[in-house]
Each structure stands twice: as structure tokens, then as C-alpha cells.
């Protein structure tokens, strides 16, 4: 049986944390003295009150969290955070439709970056700060954040860590989950603060520097400017490119890098795949823009490297309308939407490590056809990969493509053309934001009907939690003893 009391206890504590988090943008609203003070104060009060009551009234609950409760908590908490996190937008009247407000908020917490706002710069500073903050909190994962806090209250977190960070090769660089969470957040904070400083050195004001650092490290892509990063100087674009690259790298490797264990980075096969994918496609697109569009070399390189890193890491910032490029380049950009960041990063989509394992397994399948009796294991970082992991990767990719195809049919049934249907599904399922067609880099999702927005919100959720974590809840066997 599911332990409902422990679920309500943990969800109550997490909602309390969300309410307290709203106090920071409330301080920003007070500083700028704009019309969002009341909305943020009321929203924070509602979240803190309900969260505290739920937590306090279930204090006597058995605090044991099984894998079943872990999956339920992780799936529900993203929806709960989005339901309450959308209140400031609705109460302030800046987003009049609750559907639109929920879409904008779950897009933030899942670090998708798909927006319905047509004039971002008209939104008050406090709400813009909260909008960016939803991505920063969601970037490393609400549950990973809680792992450093819940043990204080006697609540173990291993089961939630498994549900929150699924993947073929989890690289925990510390045996204790609480310590792992602290180190992950430590790296996350260091990178965020470093980017703030470097952006301010480039002339960006403190508010914009903090907001963009939040959404860069989360690979989220929300900007405080309608023109996204095209608004800023080439220096700022290069700084953000570097931090998008870091955010899309396995954070365990960042930990090793900070401790000067560079050999572990160089020898890591996933990182080499990640680097050479980015390098190769950047050179290819640079050449086409330089020779084909006759752009200056520096501009060609900057546009190419920014878009390649942004799309591959699923950040979703833009500095150029890539739909105006040659069709060949648009196809490449679309393909990049399926790569994703490294395992153990804040990126979404399929993830580089799965792509690497698929490539290796496919190459070895040719050898197995020639030598049917030979045992030829897939190796990653010189270690044999358990065949069960390969099966899991194949199942994930097949399911991903089935959901992509089925969802494209659903969106096309709403009257959208193939490019727009496929682009919107790929961009939301992969937590990227901008896609192709009617959801390209200079467009948004405001034109979708309400059903379409709720449907795409669901795709964001299952994409962020890598499909199985959410879909397992719809399995009848999940609830059997």
C-alpha cells in the first residue's frame, strides 16, 4: 500500500520551501516598487500556509520512503510547484488565463523555456525574477535540493534520488546521497555566481545578470529581453555560450575539474562525444554561414556556436533566427534537439550518453552478425556495460520516438502543419523551448488552444523526468503489492 501520510508530509515541506523561495522575488518587487508586490506576497502566504499545515499535521507519519512513494512524490511535486508557482502571474493580472500561467510556470520548473508571453519586458521585475528562479530551482531538481534538507527532519532521500535522476550510468561521486546533493548544489552555486560576475563585467546590470545566470545554469532559456540573447553584446553571448556548455556537462566532471583531476575529464568518453558533437556541428554551420550567407567569419562562428550549444544543451536561448538559414542547416538544428546534454547535467532530451551507447551497440551489432557465438560487450570508459542497461536505453529511445510520433499526430489534429506539430512536440518533450515552424526562435506558444497547452505541459513533465518516472504511475502493477 502507498503511504499517503509520508507523501503529504514531504509534499507539504517542499511546498513550504517553495513559498519561502517566493520571498526573494518579493524583495525584488519591493526594491523596484512595482505592481507585483501584492501578488507575490499573497502567493507566498498561500504556499507557506498550506505547506506548513500539510507538513505539521503529518509529523507522526512513518518517514520510510519506498521506491513507490519516491516516484509518486517526484511526479506530483513538479505539478504542485507549477500549480502554486503560477499564482503570482494570475493574481497580478499579468497573465489573465490560468492555463497560460500554468504553462509558463511548468515550462520554468521543467527548464523547457517555452513561453506564451508576447512582451516579456512589460512584466514587473519581481515576476520576471520569479520566472527565472523557477528555472534555477528546477534546473538541478527540486528533489535534489531537498536531499540536503530532508535528512535534517529524519526523512531519507535515496528513493527520491533514484526517481529524480534516472539514467543509464548514474555517477555518484560521493556514497552518501545528502553529500552528493550538497556538492551538486555547491557547484551549481559557484557557476551561477561566476556567470553573474562575468556578465556584469560585460556591462549587464545586476538584475539581468542574475536572471540570465539562473536560466543559463538551468539550461532553461528564459530571458528578460524579448530579443533573447541577441539583445546583448558579442562578449555576453560568448560568456553565456561557455556556461551553457558547462551546464550541459556532467556535474560530476565539473567536480573533478574543480579538484584539478583533469585526467578523469579527458578520459571520459561521454564528454568526448559531447565535445566533438558540438565542435563538429559548429564548424559545419560556421562554414555554411561564412561561405553561403557571406557573413563575416566572427559573426558566422558566434551564431553557429551559440545556436549549436544552446539547442544541444536544451537551453533554448537564441541570437539568430535559424529558420532563415539554408534548409540543410535547419535540418541539422532539428537533429540537435534529440542529442541533449550529458547524463548528470541539467540538460534534457535523450542525453549524449544514451546516444553514445546506441552508436557503440549498433557498431558492435555488425561484429555480432559475423561472429554470432562471440560475447562482445558494449564498453564505456573501458568498462563493460550491463546488457540490461543497453536494453533500458533501447527501450527509452523507442518509447521517446513513439511518444514523439503520437504527440505530433495529436498536435496536427488541432490544425497545425507538420513542421509546427513536430517542432512543438520535439521542443517540449526535449525541454528545449524554441522549435521549428510556428514555434521557431522568434515565435512562442501563445497561439495554441488551451488543450494544446495542457498537452504540451504534460510532455514537458514526462520529458523532464525522463518518461518512465511519470508513465510508471499509469501502470496498474505499480499499485499492486
pLDDT for 397 equals: 92
To which H or E segment does residue 383 belong? strand 383-384
Instruction: Assess whether pLDDT exceeds 80 at residue 58.
Output: yes
Instruction: Assess whether pLDDT exceeds 50 at residue 44.
Output: yes
pLDDT for 299 equals: 94
Lowest mean pLDDT: which of 78-82, 166-170, 281-285, 381-385?
Answer: 166-170
pLDDT for 115 equals: 94
**163-173 average pLDDT score:** 53
Instruction: Assess whether pLDDT exceeds 90 at residue 2.
Output: no
End-to-end CA gap in the chain = 7
Identify whether the C-beta of residue 49 lies closer than 8 Å to the C-beta of residue 16. no
pLDDT for 61 equals: 73
pLDDT for 35 equals: 84
Name the pTM for this structure.
Answer: 0.90
**pLDDT tier for residue 148 given thresholds of 50, 70 and 90:** low
**pLDDT tier for residue 197 given thresholds of 50, 70 and 90:** very high
Phi and psi at 380, nearest 5°, equal -135, 125
pLDDT for 160 equals: 52
Identify whether the C-beta of residue 156 lies closer than 8 Å to the C-beta of residue 147. no
**304-308 average pLDDT score:** 97
In terms of phi and psi (left: phi > 0; alpha: psi -120 to 50; beta: otherwise), the region of 201 is: alpha
What lies within 8 Å, CB to CB, of 249 at 6+ separation is: 271, 274, 341, 342, 345
Summarize the chain as % helix, strand, coil (round to 5): 70, 0, 30
Q: How far is CA 139 from CA 22, 286, 337, in A?
A: 17, 30, 18
pLDDT for 163 equals: 60
Distance CA 309, CA 79 (A): 29
**pLDDT tier for residue 383 given thresholds of 50, 70 and 90:** confident
pLDDT for 440 equals: 92
Average pLDDT, the chain: 88
Residue percentage of the chain with pLDDT more than 70: 92
Q: When comparing pLDDT for 378 and 88, which is higher?
A: 88
pLDDT for 237 equals: 97
Q: When comparing pLDDT for 376 and 111, which is higher?
A: 111
**pLDDT tier for residue 17 given thresholds of 50, 70 and 90:** very high
Distance CA 134, CA 129 (A): 9
Distance CA 472, CA 477 (A): 9
Lowest mean pLDDT: which of 124-138, 248-262, 276-290?
Answer: 248-262
Instruction: Assess whether pLDDT exceeds 60 at residue 420.
Output: yes
What lies within 8 Å, CB to CB, of 100 at 6+ separation is: 89, 116, 446, 453
**188-198 average pLDDT score:** 95
What lies within 8 Å, CB to CB, of 420 at 6+ separation is: 411, 435, 436, 437, 438, 439
Distance CA 166, CA 162 (A): 6
pLDDT for 293 equals: 82
70 CB burial (10 A radius; 0-12, 13-18, 19+): buried
Beta strands in 121-191 (DSSP E): none
pLDDT for 166 equals: 53
pLDDT for 375 equals: 78
**pLDDT tier for residue 145 given thresholds of 50, 70 and 90:** low
pLDDT for 149 equals: 47
406 CB burial (10 A radius; 0-12, 13-18, 19+): exposed
Instruction: Assess whether pLDDT exceeds 80 at residue 398.
Output: yes
Instruction: Assess whether pLDDT exceeds 80 at residue 323.
Output: yes
Distance CA 426, CA 417 (A): 14
Residue percentage of the chain with pLDDT more than 90: 61
Beta bridge partners of 379: 384
**378-407 average pLDDT score:** 89
Amino acid at each position: 500500500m502507498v503511504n499517503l501520510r509520508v507523501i503529504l508530509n514531504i509534499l507539504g515541506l517542499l511546498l513550504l520551501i517553495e513559498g519561502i523561495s517566493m520571498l526573494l522575488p518579493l524583495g525584488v518587487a519591493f526594491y523596484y516598487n512595482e505592481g507585483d508586490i501584492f501578488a507575490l506576497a499573497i502567493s507566498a502566504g498561500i504556499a507557506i500556509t498550506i505547506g506548513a499545515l500539510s507538513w505539521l499535521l503529518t509529523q507522526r507519519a512513518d518517514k520510510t520512503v519506498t521506491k513507490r512513494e519516491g516516484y509518486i512524490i517526484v511526479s506530483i511535486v513538479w505539478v504542485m510547484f507549477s500549480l502554486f508557482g503560477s499564482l503570482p502571474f494570475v493574481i497580478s493580472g499579468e497573465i489573465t488565463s490560468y492555463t497560460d500561467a500554468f504553462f509558463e510556470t511548468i515550462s520554468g520548473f521543467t527548464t523547457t523555456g517555452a513561453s506564451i508571453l508576447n512582451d516579456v519586458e512589460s512584466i514587473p521585475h519581481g515576476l520576471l525574477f520569479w520566472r527565472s528562479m523557477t528555472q534555477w530551482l528546477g534546473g538541478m531538481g527540486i528533489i535534489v535540493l531537498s536531499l540536503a534538507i530532508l535528512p535534517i527532519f529524519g526523512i531519507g532521500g535515496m528513493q527520491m534520488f533514484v526517481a529524480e535522476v534516472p539514467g543509464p550510468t548514474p555517477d555518484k561521486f560521493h556514497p552518501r546521497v545528502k553529500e552528493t546533493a550538497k556538492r551538486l548544489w555547491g557547484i551549481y552555486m559557484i557557476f551561477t555566481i561566476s556567470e553573474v560576475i562575468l556578465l556584469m563585467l560585460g556591462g549587464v546590470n545586476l538584475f539581468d545578470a542574475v536572471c540570465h545566470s539562473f536560466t543559463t545554469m538551468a539550461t532553461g532559456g528564459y530571458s528578460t529581453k524579448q530579443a533573447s540573447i541577441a539583445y546583448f553584446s558579442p562578449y555576453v553571448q560568448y560568456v553565456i555560450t561557455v556556461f551553457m556548455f558547462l551546464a550541459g556537462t556532467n556535474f560530476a566532471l565539473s567536480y573533478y575539474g574543480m579538484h584539478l583531476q583533469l585526467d578523469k575529464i579527458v578520459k571520459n568518453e561521454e564528454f568526448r562525444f559531447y565535445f566533438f558533437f558540438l565542435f563538429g556541428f559548429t564548424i559545419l554551420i560556421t562554414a555554411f554561414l561564412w561561405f553561403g550567407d557571406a557573413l563575416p567569419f566572427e559573426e558566422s562562428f558566434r551564431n553557429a556556436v551559440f545556436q549549436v550549444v544552446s539547442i544541444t544543451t536544451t537551453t533554448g536561448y537564441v541570437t539568430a533566427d535559424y529558420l532563415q538559414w539554408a534548409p540543410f542547416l535547419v535540418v541539422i538544428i532539428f537533429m540537435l534537439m534529440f542529442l541533449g546534454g550529458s547524463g548528470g547535467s541539467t540538460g534534457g532530451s535523450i542525453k549524449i550518453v544514451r546516444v553514445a551507447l546506441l552508436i557503440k551497440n549498433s557498431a558492435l551489432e555488425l561484429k555480432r552478425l559475423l561472429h554470432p557465438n562471440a560475447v562482445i560487450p558494449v564498453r564505456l570508459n573501458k568498462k563493460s556495460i550491463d546488457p540490461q542497461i543497453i536494453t533500458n536505453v533501447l527501450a527509452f529511445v523507442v518509447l521517446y520516438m513513439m511518444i514523439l510520433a503520437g504527440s505530433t499526430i495529436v498536435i496536427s489534429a488541432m490544425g497545425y502543419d507538420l513542421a509546427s506539430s513536430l517542432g512543438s512536440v520535439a521542443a517540449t518533450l526535449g525541454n528545449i523551448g524554441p522549435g521549428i515552424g510556428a514555434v521557431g526562435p522568434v515565435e512562442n506558444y501563445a497561439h495554441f488552444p488551451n488543450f494544446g497547452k495542457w498537452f504540451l505541459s504534460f510532455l514537458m513533465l514526462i520529458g523532464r523526468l525522463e518518461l518512465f518516472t511519470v508513465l510508471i504511475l499509469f501502470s496498474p502493477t505499480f499499485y499492486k503489492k
